[in-house]
Amino acid sequence: MQDKDFITIALPKGKLFSLSTELLGKVGWTADGLSEKSRKLIITNETARLKFIITKTADVPTYVEYGAADIGIIGKDVILESGKDVYELLDLGFGKCHLMMAVPKDKRRPQLEDYNNTRVATKFPHIAEKFFAAQGMQMEYIKLNGSIELGPLIGLSESIVDIVETGTTLRENNLEEIVTIMNATARLIANRVSYKLKFERINGLVGDLSKILAR
């Protein structure tokens, strides 16, 4: 059986993985050994003609854009930050969080504009730049991949732009949210060519998932 008969799904490691596999499992899209801890790079279900790729969160849109995966599940924030040309099929509703700007409580300034021409530490420089530009602000962006909260604590930046779910980490580090930039949830995305060539199966998945999400 050739690859054209298979649907390849890119799934992100981390918090979205178990939620994604649980939802897909409800419509029979699963495979033996499909686990985040699997050492296999590709996990296949020959009977259902499915292949699963487990990858780093930021890489999911790349795999999908270039057709290495036909579809994928990833947060809206990652889609926007990546700038990849993918087709967004469905809002899955889980993985709710929001992107915001935060500063040390003791260094809060009266207005957002008072942070103009300061440094912001973030994993999301593209989204942040678009947001601040819309406010007429010019910022210096410091791209970090680890604990963003460290930025203002050690004097690397005046503020951070990061994803927040509960706000616990902010509170523990005496940081305070001052503006919400966007809300985000997990989305089902597709490669544009794959969506046309494998329309029946992919669209069928969208329909089946929509029914479950509507319950």
Amino acid 2: pLDDT: 42
**Confidence band (pLDDT; 50, 70, 90) for 4?**
confident
pTM of the model: 0.91
CA 24 to mean position of chain CA atoms: 17
pLDDT band at 3 (very low <50, low <70, confident <90, very high): low
The CATH architecture one would assign to domain 3-95+185-213 is 3-Layer(aba) Sandwich (3.40)
Q: What is the pLDDT of residues 147-196, one digit of tens each?
A: 999 999 999 999 999 999 888 999 999 999 999 999 999 999 999 999 99
Q: How do residues 77-92 score in pLDDT, each as one tens digit? A: 999 999 999 999 999 9
Q: What's the one-letter identity of residue 166?
A: T
CA distance 50 to 40: 15
Share of the chain above pLDDT 70, in %: 99
- What's the pLDDT score for residue 69? 97
Same fold, 3-95+185-213 and 97-182: yes
Q: Taking all residues of the chain, what is their mean pLDDT, rounded to a whole number? A: 95
- Encode pLDDT of 132-151 as tens digits: 999 999 999 999 988 999 99
The pLDDT score that the predictor gives to residue 37 is 87
Spatial CB neighbours of 176, under 8 Å, sequence gap ≥ 6: 102, 103, 104, 105, 108, 170
**Domain boundaries of the chain, sorted by first residue:** 3-95+185-213, 97-182
Q: Please state the length of the chain.
A: 215
CATH code for the domain defined by 97-182: 3.40.190.10
Greater pLDDT, 2 or 210: 210
The rounded distance, in Å, linking the Cα atoms of 147 and 150 is 6
